[in-house]
Amino acid sequence: MPHEATPEAPAPRGSPADRPGPVRPEPSFAEPWQARAFAMAVLASRQGCFTWPEWTHALGCELQRAPHVGYFDCWLAALQLLLLGKGAIGQDELSDRKHAWEEAFRRAPHGAPVSLADH
C-alpha cells in the first residue's frame, strides 16, 4: 500500500507532494479517445439514454466476456451496445461514423490530429 501524506504523517521524501510547485497527477487516460469514450458514457447517462446501473452492468459483462481486451476497448463496446440497444443510435449510423473515422485516420498526415471536417 503506498504511503499517503496526512497531517500526522508527511509525504515520503521524493514524492510529488515533496516537490516544490503544483502537484501534477499522471493522466488518467493513455489516449484521447479513451477520455472521449468516458465522457460520452457519462453524458449519455446524464441525458437519460441509460441509467448508471445499466452502464455498470453492461461494462461488467464486456469485461467478463473479453478478459484479454483492454479496459477502454470494453468501455467502448459496452457504450456501443447500450446506445444501439436503447435506440439512441442505429447500426447504419454507427457503421457510417466508424468508417468516416477510419478514412480520416488514413488521410491525416503522420503525427497530425485526426478529425472529421464535415461532422
Distance of alpha carbon 110 from alpha carbon 97, whole angstroms: 21
Confirm whether 86 is domain-assigned.
Answer: yes
Specify the DSSP class assigned to residue 21.
S
Between the two ends of the chain, the Cα-to-Cα distance in Å is 46
Distance of CA 7 to the CA centre of its chain: 34
Q: Give the C-alpha distances (Å, rounded to integers) separating 87 from 22, 37, 48, 59, 94.
A: 45, 18, 12, 18, 11
As for how many domains the chain has, the answer is 1
pLDDT of residue 6: 44
Distance of alpha carbon 47 from alpha carbon 83, whole angstroms: 12
Confirm whether 114 is domain-assigned.
Answer: no
Domain span holding position 77? 30-106
Confirm whether 113 is domain-assigned.
Answer: no
pLDDT of residue 105: 86
Confirm whether 88 is domain-assigned.
Answer: yes
Q: Is 3 helix (H, G, I), strand (E, B) or coil?
A: coil
Confirm whether 11 is domain-assigned.
Answer: no
Confirm whether 56 is domain-assigned.
Answer: yes
Confirm whether 49 is domain-assigned.
Answer: yes
- Tell me the average confidence (pLDDT) per consecutive run of 10 residues in the chain, 119 residues long: 46 49 69 90 94 95 92 94 94 91 89 76
Other Cβ atoms within 10 Å of 31 Cβ, number: 10
Confirm whether 112 is domain-assigned.
Answer: no
